[in-house]
């Protein structure tokens, strides 16, 4: 079994902000086989194999100018929960944009003075 954190999907651009989704990708492979005899001393055997994959959201990278931050998506186990998290992510994104906007305003006021 192996695991990788990766970016899936295209980055989304909202105004001056770019959002990059980051996900966990997990794959698993299993095989088995056996043979034996039943009570009538008749033999038999069999084999089996299986694979599985899972993709879960891990974080959103927020890029605005030179500022890069990561908003982790913790404790969420399914893609459906991302829809429920949208207001929270938008709220956090607004805080980042507002914080940077106020810093830019301060810099502009200093230049004017």
Q: Give the tens place of pLDDT for each residue, 83-105.
A: 566 666 777 777 777 766 665 55
| pLDDT for residue 3 | 47
Give me the pLDDT at residue 24, please: 83
Residue-level pLDDT at 50: 95
Which of these, 52, 57, 93, 61, lies nearest to 75 by C-alpha position?
57
63, 18 Cβ separation under 8 angstroms: yes
Q: Where are the domains of the chain?
A: 2-33+45-112
| Dist CA 31 CA 48 (whole Å) | 6
Q: What one-character DSSP code corresponds to residue 75?
A: S
pLDDT in tens, 21-79: 888 888 899 999 999 988 888 888 999 999 999 888 888 888 888 889 888 877 645 45
Query: What pLDDT was estimated at residue 30?
Result: 94
Burial of 11: CB neighbours in 10 Å, binned 0-12, 13-18, 19+: exposed
CA distance 32 to 49: 6
Pick from 23, 104, 9: which is nearest to 65 by CA? Answer: 104
- What is the structure's pLDDT at 104? 56
What's the whole-number mean pLDDT along residues 6-33?
Answer: 84
What mean pLDDT comes out for the span 15-26? 85
pLDDT at residue 90, as a whole number? 73
Contact 11, 19 (CB under 8 A): yes
């Amino acid at each position: 079994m192996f695991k990788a954190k990766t970016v899936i999907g295209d980055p989304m651009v909202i105004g001056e902000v770019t959002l990059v989704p980051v996900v966990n990708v997990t794959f698993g492979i299993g095989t088995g086989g056996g043979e034996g005899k039943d009570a009538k001393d008749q033999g038999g055997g069999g084999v089996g194999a299986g694979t599985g994959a899972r993709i879960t959201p891990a974080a959103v990278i927020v890029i605005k100018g030179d500022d890069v931050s990561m908003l982790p998506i913790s404790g969420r186990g399914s893609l459906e929960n991302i829809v429920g998290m949208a207001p929270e992510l938008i709220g956090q994104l607004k805080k980042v944009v507002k914080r940077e906007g106020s810093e830019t305003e301060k810099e502009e006021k200093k230049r004017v003075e």
